[in-house]
Amino acid sequence: MLRKRTAKIRSIAIIAVIIIIAAAIAGAIYYYRTTVPPPKPTKTFTAVMCYDFITDLDPAYSFSGEVNVMANVYETLLVYNPEGTGVTEYGLPHSEVAPGLAVNYTVSDDGLTWIFYLRKGVKFHDGTPFNATAVKYSIERIMELGVGAAFIWDPVEKIEIIDEYTVKFELSYPAPLQRIVASTYGAWIYSPKTAEIENLHDWFNEGHDAGSGPYMIESLERGVQITLKRFEDYWRGWEEHAEDRIDKVIYKIVEDPAVRVQMLETGEAQWVEYLPTEERKRFEAMPEFQVIRQPTYFIHYAFMNTKSPYLSDKLVRQALAYAFPYDDWIELGEGTYIKPPGPIPKGMWGCFEDLPQYTYNLTKAKELLAEAGYPNGGFKLKYYYISGAPTGTAGEMWKAELEKLGIELEVVGMTWPTLWERIKSGPEECGYDICAFAWWPTYITPYDFLYNMFHTEEKPFWNAAFYSNPEFDNLIDTAFKLEGSDPDRALELYREAQEILIEDCPAVFLDQLVEVFVLPSNVKGFRTNPAYGYTTIFFWYMWIEEEGGSLTIAPGFQLTLISLIFACFGFISLPRIRHTVFNEEERVWAV
């Protein structure tokens, strides 16, 4: 009798559970057929920089580390094409560039007239349509201001609007305008509506933008972070990998390398600048991370103040160049540095790999010091670098070698804006004998490197060595004007200028960077370009794949699910409770 009653109760419970499960499934199907799915979660990519990299957000003035932001917010007429596939892929006159805001262009036989055909259907972030007026306004503004990289427009005599989507450039001498309009600096096109804004330069630097790129500036906290959000009306669209595209990009500034490493490891950041070598190797062994190596046109220089008491002597500068431990420094990078053959990066037009080079040679350094009147050294120098950058370690290594020559080197770190202000204060007020920072191209020409860092300047801007040599100036100025009409002769002059520069030794060429990006494995579509700065990541091409998944319980389904849980509990537990009671009643039989 007892067994029959138990079986009957169990059968009833099973039937009840089956009914509830069926109801739950039906409810779920109804819910998912009649309810809008929840919005997709925001995909955020956090990049961590080691120093305050933003100096100016005005696209006319911008000429520094903020390029990684500018290249995602603004666009140029053409884009440098490092693969050199332009002829077959795009049908443009030059293979080194790809279409941007311009879809094509023509060049006259004499190289003086260029006509650009503009892309239709592009909007700026303020809703203004992109057209020839925007091109003329953007470029003429920087030419009139004479700021930032305005020098790139020196060949341009006149800009003329042919029609809404056609613009003509008249040059005063032939120049490679296809490279100039693809420049990293000074060539960004932005909304002409900004002409109505008072104090426009300040407006940009308060965290506003007027670009046409895939991202907009959402917020700016100087010295802390800048946040970008995607521009939904971007002309390329967001359809591919739509659910996984990057919605927000946050650039944070963290000087402490240990904190940067922790942020990457915990997932707080997806990329960090200057990851220490040992940490990089550790991440490389983890399956949840990927390591991508990218060649760059980025060189670390140590500029020697040619007006300081000791370094005004070329022999002393040469001695210091022979005292730097190049091989040890390159080896320390474990594949992230190569030794540049000269002041122009390896692989770039205008680089000559057979130029004379300084190598580590303390005997030669001692001989030169003796010739200069310092056989035992006996003097002290100051070396400034950007806090958090690897050039601090390079300074410490150099210091150890100079001590062997009787020279004391004080190594001092500071923020980039502070160091740049010191450079611009002039040779007497700057406070350093040597300062170290990096350069990457404004656009692909040796003139950019040689002019900006070593051409005579009335007022210091980038020439941190305060170097001046009229013969050198004349050679590079002449070469620049020959690039468009006689590039072979231009290269001859650039080579001669570089030989003079190496002999005069206003700077030591420390290394050329091979950038190593350590990223989570679920970050896909990674894209950089050596012409646009070593830390510039082009986020529009990228997406973040979802790792695993999570169950979202529909609000209308929660009560049914709770009932199901209780029913299952009853199915499992109820017969056992009753059976326990029966045993208690009949325990005499069980003893």
Residue 489: predicted pLDDT:
96
Is it the case that residue 488 has pLDDT exceeding 80?
Answer: yes
- Given pLDDT bands bounded at 50, 70 and 90, which one contains residue 562? very low
CA separation for the pair 282, 119 (Å, rounded): 46
Residue 10: predicted pLDDT:
54
- 3-17, 44-58, 287-301, 492-506: least confident range: 3-17
Q: Which of the two residues, 385 and 84, has the higher pLDDT score?
A: 385
Is it the case that residue 30 has pLDDT exceeding 90?
Answer: no
The predicted model gives 481-506 an average pLDDT of: 96
Q: What are phi and psi of 71, to 5 degrees?
A: -70, -15
Residue 553: predicted pLDDT:
41
- 64-68, 71-75, 522-526: least confident range: 64-68
- Given pLDDT bands bounded at 50, 70 and 90, which one contains residue 571? very low
The predicted model gives 35-59 an average pLDDT of: 84
The proportion of the chain whose per-residue pLDDT surpasses 90, expressed as a percent, equals: 73
Question: What tens digit of pLDDT does each residue of 213-246 get?
Answer: 999 999 999 999 999 999 999 999 999 999 999 9
- Given pLDDT bands bounded at 50, 70 and 90, which one contains residue 588? very low
Is it the case that residue 550 has pLDDT exceeding 70?
Answer: no
What predicted TM-score, i.e. pTM, was given to this entire model? 0.79
The predicted model gives 255-269 an average pLDDT of: 95
Mean pLDDT of all residues belonging to the chain? 87
Is it the case that residue 210 has pLDDT exceeding 60?
Answer: yes
- Given pLDDT bands bounded at 50, 70 and 90, which one contains residue 278? confident
Q: Which of the two residues, 17 and 39, has the higher pLDDT score?
A: 39
Rank 25-29, 346-350, 427-431, 439-443 by mean pLDDT and report only the highest.
427-431
Q: Which of the two residues, 27 and 310, has the higher pLDDT score?
A: 310
3-state secondary structure of 34: helix
Residue 11: predicted pLDDT:
56
Residue 444: predicted pLDDT:
87
Is it the case that residue 31 has pLDDT exceeding 90?
Answer: no
Q: What are phi and psi of 352, to 5 degrees?
A: -120, 120
Residue 21: predicted pLDDT:
53
Spatial CA neighbour of 376 closest among 365, 386, 388, 366: 366
The predicted model gives 261-282 an average pLDDT of: 93
Q: Which of the two residues, 267 and 568, has the higher pLDDT score?
A: 267
CATH number, domain 44-288+521-544: 3.40.190.10
CATH superfamily of the 295-514 domain:
Dipeptide-binding Protein; Domain 3 (3.10.105.10)
- Given pLDDT bands bounded at 50, 70 and 90, which one contains residue 52? confident
Question: What tens digit of pLDDT does each residue of 106-141 get?
Answer: 999 999 999 999 999 999 999 999 999 999 999 999
Is it the case that residue 580 has pLDDT exceeding 80?
Answer: no
* For the chain, domain boundaries: 2-38+552-590, 44-288+521-544, 295-514
Question: What tens digit of pLDDT does each residue of 294-322 get?
Answer: 888 999 999 999 999 999 999 999 999 99
Cα torsion angle, 437, 441, 445, 448, sign: negative
Cβ neighbours of residue 299 closer than 8 Å, sequence gap 6 or more: 340, 343, 345, 438, 439, 440, 449, 509, 510, 511, 512, 513
- Given pLDDT bands bounded at 50, 70 and 90, which one contains residue 87? very low
Is it the case that residue 549 has pLDDT exceeding 90?
Answer: no
Residue 13: predicted pLDDT:
52
Residue 436: predicted pLDDT:
97
Residue 559: predicted pLDDT:
43
* SS3 per-residue string spanning 212-262: CCCEEEEEEECCCEEEEEECCCCCCCCCCCHHHECCEEEEEECCCHHHHHH
Spatial CA neighbour of 172 closest among 578, 484, 502: 484
CA separation for the pair 324, 510 (Å, rounded): 8
Question: What tens digit of pLDDT does each residue of 399-456 get?
Answer: 999 999 999 999 999 998 899 999 999 999 999 999 999 998 888 899 999 999 999 9
Assess contact for 372 and 315: CB atoms under 8 A.
yes
Structure tokens at 355: 């130029």
Residue 535: predicted pLDDT:
86
Q: What are phi and psi of 311, to 5 degrees?
A: -85, 0
Residue for token pair 């770190």: 413
Is it the case that residue 574 has pLDDT exceeding 60?
Answer: no
- Beta-ladder partners of 249: 45, 228
Residue 37: predicted pLDDT:
54
The predicted model gives 183-203 an average pLDDT of: 97
Cβ neighbours of residue 226 closer than 8 Å, sequence gap 6 or more: 54, 69, 207, 217, 219, 220, 250, 251
Is it the case that residue 144 has pLDDT exceeding 80?
Answer: yes
Assess contact for 421 and 473: CB atoms under 8 A.
no
- 10-19, 202-211, 398-407: least confident range: 10-19
Structure tokens at 200: 């426009």
Is it the case that residue 180 has pLDDT exceeding 50?
Answer: yes
Is it the case that residue 99 has pLDDT exceeding 80?
Answer: yes
Residue 338: predicted pLDDT:
93
- 221-225, 461-465, 567-571: least confident range: 567-571
Residue 567: predicted pLDDT:
46
408 alpha carbon, distance to own chain's centre: 36
Is it the case that residue 517 has pLDDT exceeding 70?
Answer: yes
Is it the case that residue 358 has pLDDT exceeding 60?
Answer: yes
